[in-house]
Chain A
Amino acid sequence: EIVLTQSPGTLSLSPGERATLSCRSSQSVRSTSLAWYQQKPGQAPRLLIYGASSRATGISDRFSASGSGTDFTLTISRLEPEDFAVYYCQQYGSSPLTFGGGTKVEIK
């Protein structure tokens, strides 16, 4: 089973600042099969990124992602108030599908 480790656990930033979130895999993720989700309190997760770097439909270009192998990054260029949430990475290159533990982006 692939274990995904997200860091930091919590990121305290101000609106307008840049957020950089990390997702590291215990094994190489096949074919950049990595997705990112955003979850706000009391809501279901929402797909942001698939294929390690492709934005899902309707996702702002403030969100960008990169990476391959075992190291992946999600960047939010300028934090808007609605971006404060928990972010999860998920790999789909190997069974079982697994998620990282999440990074909470909170208002400083």
Chain B
Amino acid sequence: QVQLVESGGGVVQPGGSLRLSCAASEFIFSNYAMHWVRQAPGKGLEWVAFIRSDGSNIYYIDSVKGRFTISRDNSKNTLYLQMNTLRPEDTAVYYCAKDVSSWSAYYFDSWGQGTLVSVSS
């Protein structure tokens, strides 16, 4: 059973930074592309970022480009999301999600439980 456990969420002021982590287990992490998907309170799902299995290709939604950085450490089976210059509209539950592919961005067959990021003064 795939396990994805996010951590690092919390309350931060506008303009602040947070680093989210997602610890993966029970599958070969280095074989799969990974994503971050977020969900604002009471709203729908929004894809945020993608990283290929070997970290060689990365994509972001336009609204976070230049502010967020997705990365991974395959030796530690961990996915990261560095979030800088946070805005109130970044407030959401952030999920890490496993892709079915190693190479391309397809769909998500496993999700973590999510970690809440709240940007407020």
Interface residues of A (CB under 8 A from B): 33, 35, 37, 39, 43-47, 50, 56, 88, 90, 92, 95-102
Contacts and interface: CB of A to CB of B under 8 A. Distances in A.
20 contacts: A33-B106, A35-B108, A37-B45, A39-B45, A43-B113, A44-B113, A44-B114, A45-B45, A45-B95, A47-B107, A50-B109, A90-B45, A92-B105, A92-B106, A95-B59, A95-B105, A96-B62, A99-B44, A99-B45, A99-B46
Contact of A56 (B35, B61, B109): B109
Given A92-B105, A92-B106, A97-B105, A102 B44 contact: yes
Contacts, number: 54
A102 B112 CA distance: 20
- Leading 6 A-B pairs by shortest Cβ distance: A44-B111, A35-B107, A97-B47, A99-B45, A92-B106, A102-B44
Interface in B16-32: none
Given A44-B95, A50-B100, A88-B44, A96 B59 contact: yes
Contact of A100 (B44, B62, B107): B44
A45 B44 contact: no
B34 to A, nearest CB: 13
Contacts of B105: 92, 95, 97
Contacts of B113: 43-44
Given A44-B113, A44-B114, A102-B44, A90 B95 contact: no
A92 B100 CA distance: 12
B40 to A, nearest CB: 12
B44 A46 contact: no
A46 to B, nearest CB: 7
B106 A88 contact: no
Nearest to A91: B107
Task: Determine which residue in B44, B50, B107, B108 has the highest number of CB atoms from chain A within 10 A of its CB, and name it.
Answer: B107
A35 B86 CA distance: 30
Contacts of B112: 44
A96 B47 contact: yes
Contacts of B46: 99
